Amino acid sequence: MMNGYELLELFGRQLREAIEVPNSWLPEEFRDERTDSVTLADLERKCDIRDSNNMTDHEYEKAEKAKRILLYTEQVNSGVQELTYLQK
C-alpha cells in the first residue's frame, strides 16, 4: 500500500507524461521533430541532460550566440531577403 507522498509522486509523474507542449512553443533544442508535441516529462529529461553538462550561464549564452550567428550567416550567404530570427 502506498502512502500519501508516494501517491503524489506517482500522480506527478503520470501528469508530466500526460501534458504535451506543442513544438511551436519550444526552442529548437527541445523540439521533437517526429511528433507535433513533447511531454513535460521529456522536457524535464532534456533539461536535466542540459544542466548536467555543467555549462556556466556564460558558456551556455556563448554557445547560443554562436548558433544564431551561424544561422544568420547561412541565411545571408544564401541570398535571403529577410532574415528569420532564432528566438532564445
The mean pLDDT value of the chain amounts to 87
**pLDDT reported for residue 48:** 81
Cell matching residue 38: 513533447
- Check whether 88 has a pLDDT greater than 70: no
Tens-place pLDDT, residues 14-54: 999 999 999 999 998 899 889 999 999 999 998 888 877 77
Q: Could you tell me which of 41, 35, 38, 29 has the C-alpha nearest to residue 88?
A: 29
37 membership: H or E segment, kind and range: strand 37-39
Q: Contact, 17 vs 37, CB < 8 A?
A: no
Q: Could you tell me which of 62, 61, 60, 65 has the C-alpha nearest to residue 86?
A: 65
